[in-house]
Each structure stands twice: as C-alpha cells, then as structure tokens.
Amino acid sequence: MSQTESVPTLPEIETAMNSAWKKMEAILPRVGPVLDSGPNASGWTPRELLSHMVGAWQRVPMHTAFFRDSVDVPVQVADPCWTPEWATAPISAFQACLEAGYDLNKAFLSRVKESELSIHGKPHSVRQRLAIFSC
C-alpha cells in the first residue's frame, strides 16, 4: 500500500480476519493426514508452517506496539516459531493454538482505535499494522 492509498477501516480488517479464519478452518482438517510429510518447494514442512503461523498470530499485539511507538519491528520472516512440542503435536493442537490466536487478535482489534491505523498522518499497510496472519 502506498502512502496515497486509503487506510483500511477496522470493519474491513475484521472482515478480512474472519474470512481468513474461515478458510483456515476449512483447510486444517486436510492438513492432518499430511502433517508429517516432507518440506515443500520452499523448504517448509506442514508442522513448521503451522508453528510459524501460530507464533505469528500470537505476536500481533506485540508487533503492533512497535508501530504505535514508531519503532522498527524486529520481524524474522523465516522464523518457524518452533518449540519441541510441535514435533509430535496432533493437528488438534495446531487447531487449538490457531483458534486461540484468532480469538486473541479479535479481542486485540476491538481495542484498536481507527486513528491508530495511521501514525503521524502516514498510512501503514494492514500487514504492517496488524499482521494478522503472517509475521
């Protein structure tokens, strides 16, 4: 998003979050049977990808605080957010953590003010301000 584009509204962000969550809910059952398959062309296994998503979703409030204070966010895009539990976790563990991350971000979004979607008059992309589903 360039600085000349409009800043998304909170309802638009919420709609995007809800849509992404519905897609995730539909995909997760299909991931279970291939959870232990090898890496894809990018080098990520299904477990690594899901652990990365869990970590990313749970970091949104922290990363947003960096933007509020106009501080560079030390995001590690390739960080799988790996903990030893993920090595043998069933798909239901990933589902529970992703759902908790979604709920966390819905609660967090309810506390964000429209005025916080731009800092010092400069709009920030949804990915930067509320990186809901990616690091």
Q: Give whole-number Cα distances, 5 to 2, 16, 123, 125, in Å.
A: 6, 18, 8, 9
pLDDT recorded at residue 123: 53
Radius of gyration from C-alpha coordinates of the chain:
16
Q: Which of 88-92, 96-100, 117-121, 125-129 has the lowest mean pLDDT?
A: 125-129
pTM for the whole structure: 0.78
